[in-house]
C-alpha cells in the first residue's frame, strides 16, 4: 500500500482552499455588428484575445448554444495580422486532421458544432505576445412581435446550460467574472432599432454608429419599420421574383433569384422565411425572402448569410444535389460539417502547443452601470487567480503562412541556384540537352513537392490553375520553326512574326508565376519553383527558335 | 505496458485527443516523454486519464478533481443516503481484480448495517 492509500479524514479535503489550475485566457474586447434584413439578421462577432504566456498555445473557445434556426456559416481567424479562413469539411475528418496537425506542430484552426448546438473554436499555434482576432458570421430570424415590431436577442457572455454541462472539460464553456470592453453597431434601412436590457436606459440606436455594451448582460434590440413600411414581407411570395433561392439543380452557382417555378409551394412556417417549391420536373427549391425590394445593392452585403440560411431549409434529398451538398456549398456549420484550416509544416516552432481555455463573461453577474466603451474597467476578480505577467520574448520577424522554416529561410532557396548552375554547366560542356533538361525538370519537381500547399487550403483548391504555367513552354515549342515546318512546309518570312511571338512567350513565362502567387495565397514557394521550371524551358525553346531563325545562324 | 503513441493512447483510454491535451496542460496527466517528434506515453498516462475520467463521471468539476487528487484523504463517493464510500485516489481506475474488493465491501456493509445479529460470535 503506497502513501497515497493512507486515509486520514474524508472531510478534510472539503475544507481546503481551491487549488489554482491553469487560468483561462480572457478576451481583450469584442465587437458585434448586426446587419438587419428583416426577417433575418446577420451577426458578425469579432472577439480579440492575446496569448499572454511565454509558450505556443492552442486556444479553445466554447460559445453558448446557438438559437433554434440560427445558422453559422463563416470563420475568419486573424493571427498577428495574417488572415486564416476555415473551409468546410466533414466533421470527423476535420477533427482528425486538426488533431494530427497539432501533434505535428502545425497551425490548425477548427470551428465545429458540438452536439449540433454548441459552437467551439480551437486555434492551435498562437505564438507568445500575439493578438488573435476571431471573426464569426451567423444569421438568424428575428422574433416577430405584435404590432408590426420584431426583437433580436444577442448574448456575448454565457450562463449555465444543461446541454453544455454534459461536455467534457476540454470542450465545456468557461466563464469568468472579469469584464472586457464590448461594442455594438447596427446597420439597417428604414428601421428604428432600440436597445434595451443594458444597465443604462433604453435608447434608439444611431444606425452604423458603435455603442458600448455590457458583455455580461443580454442585448435586446427592438425593431420597428419606418417610412410607412412594414416588417411583414409575406407579400414576397415564393412563386414571384424576390427571394434568395437554393435549388437541387447543379450549376456553377446554386443560389440565385428564383424564376417562376410554376410548381407547388409548401411551407411549414407562417413567417415566410422558408418556402419550398417542387416543380413539375422534380426540382426542389427553397427560398429565403429578401428584406428589400429586390435591389442588388441591398442584398449584396448579406447575400452569403441568406444563402446559408436558405441552404438549411433544403432538407429534401433531391437529385443530383443532396441536402448535405447544398449545406457544404453554402459553408454552413452543422453536426456533420466543420470549418477547418491546416497550416503548412515548418511554419511554427517545433513545439507542442499548450491547450488554454478561453473564458466568456459570466452572464449571471449583474452590473449596476456600464461606462462608455473606452472607459470600461474590469470588475475585481471573484474566484479566478489573476494570470501572472511573464517575460515575453521579443518577436523579431513575423512568420507568414505558407513559408518554410523561418530560422533557415535563406537555405530553402539554395537548391535552386545550384540546379540552375548545374544546367548551365551541362550546356557549357556540350552534354546532351534533352537528358540535362529532363534531370533538371525532375530535380525541380522534387524541390517543389516540399512546398506543396496543405490539404484544405485555398491554394490547394486552386492548384489546378498551375496548369497555366505549362502554356508558355508548350506554346513556345508549338510556335517554333520545327513544328511549323512539319505542319506547313512553308518557312518564308516566318521570322517576322515568330521571333516576337517567342519573345512574348518568354515574357508571359516571367509574368505568369507572379500572377499565380497572388491567386494562390500561401503557396509562394511552390508557385515560384514551378514557375522557374517554366521560365527555363520557355527561354531555352525561345532562344533555340530565335537562333534558328536568325540570318547566318 | 509498452510505450504508446498519441493515437494509441486515445484508443486505449477512449477519450478525445483534445481532452488529453487539456489534461496535460492542466497538469492532471504528465507530459509525454521523448519530445514532440517521438512523444510516447505509458502506464502512468493511461492511469491518470482513467482516474480523471472516473471522477468526471459523477460530475466533479476540474477544480474539485484537482483538490481530491491532491489530498490524501480520499475521494468521497455517495452510495445511498447516509453511506459514503471513501476511495484512495491511487486506486481509482487502477485495480485489476475489482470483484474481490466488491465482495469484501459488500460483506462489511452487510455486517455493519444489518439489523439481525450474526450467529457467529
pLDDT band at A324 (very low <50, low <70, confident <90, very high): confident
Quick check: A50 pLDDT over 90? yes
Q: Give mean pLDDT, residues A341-364.
A: 84
Query: Among A106-110, A140-144, A231-235, A371-375, which is the least confidently predicted range?
Result: A371-375
Report the gap between the CA of B3 and the closest CA in chain A (Å). 17
Q: What is the mean pLDDT of chain A?
A: 75
Position A186 scores a pLDDT of 93
Q: Give mean pLDDT, residues A407-422.
A: 67
Position A365 scores a pLDDT of 46
Contacts of B61 in chain A (CB under 8 A): 169
- Measured CA to CA, the distance from residue A37 to residue B82 in angstroms comes to 59
From chain A residues 14-33, the ones with a CB under 8 A of any chain B CB are 16, 18-19, 21-22
Quick check: A132 pLDDT over 50? yes
Report the gap between the CA of A62 and the closest CA in chain B (Å). 13
Geometric angle at alpha carbon A218, from A231 and A381, rounded to 5°: 165
β-bridge partners, A287: A245, A275
The larger pLDDT score, comparing residue A384 to residue A340, is at A340
Position A379 scores a pLDDT of 31
The larger pLDDT score, comparing residue A120 to residue A302, is at A120
Position A1 scores a pLDDT of 46
Report the gap between the CA of B106 and the closest CA in chain A (Å). 20
Q: What is the mean pLDDT of chain B?
A: 85
Query: Among A210-219, A281-290, A388-397, B11-20, which is the least confidently predicted range?
Result: A388-397
Among A26-35, A242-251, A361-370, A534-543, name the most confident range.
A26-35
Are B73 and A2 an interchain contact pair (Cβ–Cβ within 8 Å)?
A: no
Q: What is the pLDDT of residues A152-180, one digit of tens each?
A: 999 888 886 666 667 888 998 988 888 99
Quick check: A532 pLDDT over 70? yes
- Measured CA to CA, the distance from residue A86 to residue A78 in angstroms comes to 11
Query: Among A5-9, A52-56, A462-466, B103-107, which is the least confidently predicted range?
Result: A5-9
Are A168 and B56 an interchain contact pair (Cβ–Cβ within 8 Å)?
A: yes
Position A258 scores a pLDDT of 47
Are B25 and A22 an interchain contact pair (Cβ–Cβ within 8 Å)?
A: yes
Quick check: A274 pLDDT over 70? no
Q: Does A429 touch chain B (CB under 8 A)?
A: no
Instruction: Kindly report the backbone phi and psi dihedral angles of residue A299, in degrees, each rounded to the nearest multiple of 5, phi listed first.
Output: -85, -35
Chain A, nearest residue to B26 by Cα: A22
Residue A258 and residue A243 in contact, taking contact as beta carbons nearer than 8 Å: yes
Q: Does A68 touch chain B (CB under 8 A)?
A: no
Taking phi first (over 0 means left), then psi (-120 to 50 degrees means alpha), and beta for anything else, what does residue A500 get? alpha
Complex confidence, ipTM: 0.75
The larger pLDDT score, comparing residue A416 to residue A289, is at A416
Position A284 scores a pLDDT of 58
Are A60 and B18 an interchain contact pair (Cβ–Cβ within 8 Å)?
A: yes
- Measured CA to CA, the distance from residue A443 to residue A415 in angstroms comes to 9
Quick check: A119 pLDDT over 50? yes
Q: Give mean pLDDT, residues B87-114.
A: 87
The larger pLDDT score, comparing residue B56 to residue A323, is at B56
Quick check: B20 pLDDT over 80? yes
* DSSP reduced 3-state for A540: helix
Q: Give mean pLDDT, residues A281-301.
A: 56
Q: Which residue from A9, A19, A103 is facing B73, i.e. has the nearest CB?
A: A9
Residue A546 and residue A499 in contact, taking contact as beta carbons nearer than 8 Å: yes
Quick check: A27 pLDDT over 90? yes
Position A269 scores a pLDDT of 56
Name the residue among A282, A335, A349 with its Cα closest to residue A130: A349
Write out the H or E segment, with its range, that includes residue A48.
strand A40-50
Are B68 and A13 an interchain contact pair (Cβ–Cβ within 8 Å)?
A: yes
Chain A, nearest residue to B65 by Cα: A19
pLDDT band at B29 (very low <50, low <70, confident <90, very high): very high
Position A139 scores a pLDDT of 87
Q: Does A168 touch chain B (CB under 8 A)?
A: yes
pLDDT band at B78 (very low <50, low <70, confident <90, very high): confident
Question: B interface mutation test: which of A97, A118, A160, A169 has the most B CBs within 10 A?
Answer: A169
pLDDT band at A373 (very low <50, low <70, confident <90, very high): very low
Q: What is the pLDDT of residues A422-450, one digit of tens each?
A: 888 887 888 887 888 888 888 888 888 77
Strands (DSSP E) contained in A65-201 are: 71-79, 82-85, 87-90, 108-114, 118-126, 131-141, 143-145, 149-154, 175-176, 181-187, 191-196
Quick check: A212 pLDDT over 70? yes
Are A356 and B68 an interchain contact pair (Cβ–Cβ within 8 Å)?
A: no
Q: What is the pLDDT of residues A190-205, one digit of tens each?
A: 789 999 988 888 999 9
Amino acid at each position: 500500500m503506497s502513501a497515497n492509500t493512507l486515509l486520514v479524514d474524508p472531510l478534510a479535503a472539503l475544507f481546503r482552499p481551491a487549488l489554482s489550475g491553469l487560468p483561462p485566457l480572457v478576451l481583450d474586447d469584442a465587437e458585434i455588428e448586426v446587419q438587419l434584413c428583416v426577417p433575418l439578421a446577420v451577426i458578425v462577432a469579432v472577439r480579440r484575445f492575446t496569448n499572454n504566456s511565454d509558450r505556443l498555445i492552442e486556444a479553445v473557445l466554447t460559445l453558448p448554444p446557438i438559437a433554434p434556426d440560427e445558422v453559422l456559416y463563416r470563420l475568419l481567424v486573424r493571427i498577428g495580422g495574417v488572415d486564416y479562413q476555415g473551409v468546410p469539411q466533414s466533421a470527423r475528418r476535420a477533427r482528425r486532421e486538426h488533431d494530427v496537425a497539432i501533434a505535428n506542430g502545425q497551425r490548425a484552426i477548427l470551428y465545429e458544432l458540438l452536439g449540433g448546438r454548441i459552437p467551439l473554436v480551437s486555434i492551435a499555434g498562437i505564438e507568445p505576445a500575439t493578438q488573435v482576432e476571431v471573426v464569426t458570421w451567423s444569421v438568424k430570424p428575428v422574433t416577430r412581435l405584435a404590432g408590426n415590431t420584431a426583437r433580436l436577442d444577442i448574448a456575448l457572455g454565457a450562463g449555465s446550460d444543461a446541454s453544455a454541462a454534459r461536455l467534457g472539460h476540454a470542450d465545456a464553456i468557461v466563464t469568468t467574472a472579469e469584464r472586457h470592453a464590448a461594442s455594438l453597431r447596427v446597420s439597417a434601412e428604414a428601421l428604428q432599432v432600440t436597445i434595451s436590457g443594458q444597465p443604462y436606459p433604453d435608447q434608439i440606436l444611431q444606425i452604423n454608429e458603435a455603442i458600448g455594451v455590457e458583455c455580461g448582460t443580454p442585448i435586446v434590440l427592438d425593431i420597428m419599420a419606418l417610412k410607412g413600411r412594414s416588417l411583414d414581407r409575406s407579400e414576397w411570395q415564393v412563386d414571384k421574383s424576390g427571394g434568395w433561392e437554393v435549388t437541387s439543380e447543379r450549376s456553377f452557382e446554386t443560389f440565385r433569384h428564383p424564376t417562376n417555378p410554376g410548381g407547388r409551394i409548401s411551407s411549414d412556417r407562417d413567417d415566410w422565411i422558408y418556402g419550398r417549391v417542387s416543380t413539375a420536373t422534380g426540382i426542389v427549391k427553397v427560398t429565403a425572402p429578401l428584406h428589400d425590394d429586390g435591389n442588388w445593392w441591398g442584398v449584396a452585403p448579406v447575400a452569403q448569410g441568406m444563402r446559408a440560411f436558405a441552404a438549411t431549409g433544403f432538407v429534401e434529398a433531391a437529385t443530383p444535389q443532396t441536402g448535405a451538398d447544398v449545406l457544404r456549398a453554402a459553408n454552413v456549420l452543422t453536426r456533420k460539417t466543420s470549418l477547418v484550416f491546416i497550416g503548412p509544416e515548418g511554419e511554427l516552432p517545433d513545439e507542442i502547443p499548450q491547450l488554454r481555455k478561453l473564458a466568456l463573461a459570466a452572464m449571471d453577474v449583474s452590473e449596476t452601470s456600464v461606462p462608455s466603451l473606452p472607459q470600461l474597467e474590469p470588475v475585481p476578480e471573484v474566484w479566478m487567480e489573476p494570470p501572472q505577467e511573464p517575460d515575453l520574448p521579443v518577436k523579431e520577424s513575423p512568420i507568414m503562412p505558407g513559408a518554410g522554416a523561418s530560422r533557415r529561410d535563406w537555405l530553402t532557396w539554395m537548391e535552386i541556384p545550384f540546379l540552375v548552375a548545374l544546367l548551365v554547366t551541362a550546356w557549357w560542356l556540350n552534354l546532351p540537352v534533352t537528358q540535362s533538361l529532363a534531370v533538371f525538370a525532375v530535380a525541380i519537381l522534387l524541390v517543389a513537392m516540399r512546398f506543396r500547399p496543405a490539404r484544405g487550403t485555398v491554394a490547394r483548391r486552386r492548384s489546378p490553375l498551375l496548369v497555366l504555367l505549362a502554356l508558355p513552354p508548350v506554346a513556345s515549342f508549338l510556335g517554333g520553326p520545327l513544328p511549323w515546318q512539319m505542319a506547313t512546309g512553308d518557312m518564308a518570312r516566318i521570322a517576322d512574326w515568330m521571333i516576337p511571338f517567342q519573345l512574348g512567350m518568354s515574357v508571359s513565362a516571367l509574368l505568369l508565376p507572379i500572377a499565380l502567387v497572388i491567386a494562390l495565397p500561401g503557396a509562394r514557394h511552390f508557385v515560384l519553383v514551378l514557375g522557374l521550371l517554366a521560365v527555363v524551358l520557355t527561354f531555352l525553346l525561345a532562344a533555340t527558335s530565335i537562333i534558328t531563325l536568325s540570318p547566318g545562324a | 505496458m509498452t510505450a504508446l503513441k498519441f493515437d494509441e493512447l486515445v484508443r486505449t483510454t477512449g477519450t478525445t485527443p483534445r481532452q488529453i491535451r487539456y489534461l496535460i496542460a492542466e497538469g492532471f496527466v504528465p507530459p509525454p516523454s521523448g519530445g514532440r517528434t517521438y512523444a510516447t506515453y505509458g502506464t502512468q498516462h493511461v492511469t491518470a486519464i482513467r482516474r480523471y475520467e472516473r471522477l468526471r463521471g459523477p460530475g466533479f468539476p476540474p477544480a474539485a478533481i484537482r483538490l481530491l487528487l491532491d489530498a490524501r484523504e480520499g475521494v468521497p463517493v455517495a452510495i445511498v443516503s447516509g453511506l459514503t464510500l471513501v476511495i484512495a485516489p491511487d486506486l481509482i481506475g487502477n485495480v485489476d481484480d475489482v470483484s474481490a474488493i466488491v465482495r469484501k465491501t459488500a460483506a462489511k456493509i452487510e455486517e455493519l448495517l444489518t439489523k439481525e445479529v450474526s450467529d457467529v460470535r
